[in-house]
Chain A
Amino acid sequence: MRIQLTALMMVAGFASAAVAQKGYTAPRTPDGHADLQGIWEVAKSPDRDLEASKLIVDPANHKIPYKSEALAQKKENAKNTVANDPLNKCFMPGVPRINLLSYPFQIFQTPDYVALAYEYIHNFRTIYMKRDRHLPDIDFWQGDSVGHWDGDTLVVDVGDFNDQTWLDKAGNYHSDQLHVQERYTRIGPDLLQYEATVEDPKVFTAPWKIRAELKRDTRPNARIMEYECQYLAEEAAKKQGK
């Protein structure tokens, strides 16, 4: 197992320049698209602090380009992340945060949908492949996802967000004007490149971009388990006599 893990880490290292493994072509689904199906988890979660993680590849300084008043709000958030981080209340994480937590998720593909089932509080995203625009006049915690294929890359446009989620534990945040474009590219049998371009004209001066690598769970008969945050919190409170 240790050898396998080491090998996986080496592969992850080689692929970190965002280049597919040499000669690799993803397998196909019956309708001819790249097959991204499997259980995936980010190799190294940046959730503690996106900026410190260096997974922000644009701008080059790895910093989120906040407007000045928004930077003040971020600093305010950071003063008490324990109390203020929505994840500490077991809320839905939003996008792209949910893909970058240390919990796996499973990708399913049909001709009409790509479905993402998350171990983290049984969150579930349905990506509509046959709808080309967002729903009018409604906000979602996880946004509204519509997808299309750019060659072998699944491109997902996510809009219709509310302003209640954070981008990480460090207090990085967004408004309800958040718009995310995700790109999922299988760059090896067990490696998925995930990119998210994040824009929000109320909060950021320019779009910025995350790039991360997700590794596949290669164990036979693997399944995602259940991380039920609210249940665990209530059980912990009972033990403390609250």
Chain B
Amino acid sequence: MRKTLLRLVANGAAIGTMWLLAPPLLGQDEPPSQPGGRGGPEGRGARGGRGGGRGGRAALPPAGPVKRMADGKPDMQGYWNAGNNGGAVFEVQKHPRRMQSLPAGDGAIVDPPDGLIPYTAEYAAKAKDNFDNHLADEPELHCYESGLPNQMYRQFGFQIFQPAGYVVMNWEFMHAVRIIPTDNRPHSVPASAKLFQGDSVGHWEGDTLVVDTTNFNDRTWLDSAGNAHSDQMHVVERFTPADERTIRYEATIEDPRAYTKPWKVAFAFNRNMQPNYEQMEFACIEGNTDVLHYTPDAGGKAKSGAK
């Protein structure tokens, strides 16, 4: 297994976990390059590293208060990146260094206090099997949307739009989308509808956007390490802007089949302060050869095994 993953790093082409390991991606605090919007002199190719959004922070004045929409609700529109979340995209729970490619981290779980997912026996076994035998089945390697809460700590950032009656989120990664109506509507898709991103309905409680999401399928993972949920998952999220550049985020995850009790993640989103930043088009399946880089013992299709 270890050799399999080393081979992956050498190929350097995977979409999921391994993308994050490319040197430019680890440089989260490196200065951003200008994206060359508005027909500026620099081509888009000059963009360089993907650490975007946090660079230049030292030169910024203190953050102002939360921006407001005309109706007084917080204005969260703009580009955002998941802030420090203890390596949740690798593994959402507190984790030791699993192997070369999955470094140790505290994860993003704040409840229970041990930082671990309170699995049922069935789903503890499923997660272990995913990690031991099926890393090439990581849904993102197959260009699937990430589901919750995984979507919220996925890389490359996202844009929030607030048209009347909705909060819409669009990630550059996999052009994933969440459409959240905020008109107090009930869930109205049938229970039989099983969706990668679930069915989200939202409402405002003061300055906090509360989003209730049901109707998940069981085909998404919680992270790149194979942590799992069933189609009984129910997620309640709270987005609370703290200032113009920060949104505090909490998600409570319950799933009576997979977990013995609800558990909670918390971290923050940081506003991308690059002027003229735009998201680019992330083509996934259009050029995806990831499973060709995984050896058969990891569920992939590489012609030669790891030697």
Q: Show the binding face of A for B, using Cβ within 8 Å.
A: 29-30, 37, 89-92, 106, 108-110, 112-113, 115, 117, 122-124, 126, 128, 131, 133, 135-138, 140-142, 164, 220-221, 223-226, 228-231, 234
- The stretch from B34-42, B55-63, B80-88, B266-274 touching chain A is B34-42
Chain B min CB distance to A129 (Å): 12
Q: What are 14 contact pairs spanning A and B, CB under 8 A?
A: A30-B164, A91-B286, A92-B286, A108-B161, A108-B168, A110-B163, A117-B170, A122-B177, A126-B278, A223-B179, A223-B189, A224-B179, A226-B195, A230-B144
Known interface pairs A29-B164, A141-B286. Does A126 touch B185 (Cβ–Cβ under 8 Å)? no
Contact check, B170 vs A124: say whether CB atoms are below 8 A apart.
yes
Known interface pairs A126-B170, A126-B279, A133-B39. Does A106 touch B179 (Cβ–Cβ under 8 Å)? yes
Chain A min CB distance to B36 (Å): 7
* A133 cross-chain contacts in B, Cβ below 8 A: 38-39
* B145 cross-chain contacts in A, Cβ below 8 A: 122, 226, 228
Contact check, A228 vs B44: say whether CB atoms are below 8 A apart.
no
* A91 cross-chain contacts in B, Cβ below 8 A: 285-286
Q: Show the binding face of B for A, using Cβ within 8 Å.
A: 36-39, 43-45, 70, 77, 142-145, 159, 161-164, 166, 168, 170, 174-177, 179, 181, 185-186, 188-189, 193, 195-197, 199, 219, 278-281, 283, 285-286
Contact check, A228 vs B163: say whether CB atoms are below 8 A apart.
no
A29 to B161, CA, bound (A): 15
A124 to B281, CA, bound (A): 9
A137 to B44, CA, bound (A): 7
Contact check, A228 vs B179: say whether CB atoms are below 8 A apart.
no
* B199 cross-chain contacts in A, Cβ below 8 A: 223
Question: Main SS of chain B's interface residues?
Answer: loop
User: Which of B37, B142, B161, B280: most chain A CB closer than 10 A?
Assistant: B161
Contact check, B168 vs A115: say whether CB atoms are below 8 A apart.
yes
Contact check, B161 vs A110: say whether CB atoms are below 8 A apart.
yes
A110 to B166, CA, bound (A): 11
* B168 cross-chain contacts in A, Cβ below 8 A: 108, 115, 117
Chain A min CB distance to B270 (Å): 21
A224 to B300, CA, bound (A): 33
A131 to B219, CA, bound (A): 39
* B77 cross-chain contacts in A, Cβ below 8 A: 110, 112
Contact check, B38 vs A117: say whether CB atoms are below 8 A apart.
no
Chain A min CB distance to B186 (Å): 7
Known interface pairs A133-B38, A226-B196, A231-B219. Does A141 touch B177 (Cβ–Cβ under 8 Å)? no
Contact check, A108 vs B193: say whether CB atoms are below 8 A apart.
no
Chain B min CB distance to A175 (Å): 18
* A142 cross-chain contacts in B, Cβ below 8 A: 281
Contact check, A37 vs B163: say whether CB atoms are below 8 A apart.
yes
Chain B min CB distance to A217 (Å): 13
Contact check, A124 vs B144: say whether CB atoms are below 8 A apart.
no
A91 to B163, CA, bound (A): 28
A109 to B39, CA, bound (A): 24
A117 to B176, CA, bound (A): 10
Contact check, B186 vs A221: say whether CB atoms are below 8 A apart.
yes
Contact check, B163 vs A109: say whether CB atoms are below 8 A apart.
yes
Contact check, B159 vs A126: say whether CB atoms are below 8 A apart.
yes
A225 to B193, CA, bound (A): 9
Which single member of A30, A92, A115, A221 contacts B70 (CB below 8 Å)?
Answer: A30
Which single member of B36, B142, B159, B188 contacts A221 (CB below 8 Å)?
Answer: B188
Contact check, B175 vs A131: say whether CB atoms are below 8 A apart.
no
* B43 cross-chain contacts in A, Cβ below 8 A: 136-138
Chain A min CB distance to B141 (Å): 11
Known interface pairs A124-B175, A126-B170. Does A131 touch B161 (Cβ–Cβ under 8 Å)? no
A138 to B219, CA, bound (A): 34
A145 to B179, CA, bound (A): 21
Contact check, A92 vs B283: say whether CB atoms are below 8 A apart.
yes
Contact check, A122 vs B37: say whether CB atoms are below 8 A apart.
no
Chain A min CB distance to B39 (Å): 5
* A228 cross-chain contacts in B, Cβ below 8 A: 144-145, 196
Chain A min CB distance to B33 (Å): 15
Contact check, B161 vs A231: say whether CB atoms are below 8 A apart.
no
* B164 cross-chain contacts in A, Cβ below 8 A: 29-30, 37
* A141 cross-chain contacts in B, Cβ below 8 A: 281, 283, 286
Having A89-B285, A115-B161, A234-B142, one finds 18 other A-B pairs with CB under 8 Å, namely A108-B166, A110-B163, A113-B161, A115-B168, A122-B174, A123-B175, A126-B159, A131-B38, A137-B44, A220-B188, A221-B185, A223-B189, A223-B199, A228-B144, A228-B196, A230-B142, A230-B143, A231-B142
Chain A min CB distance to B180 (Å): 10
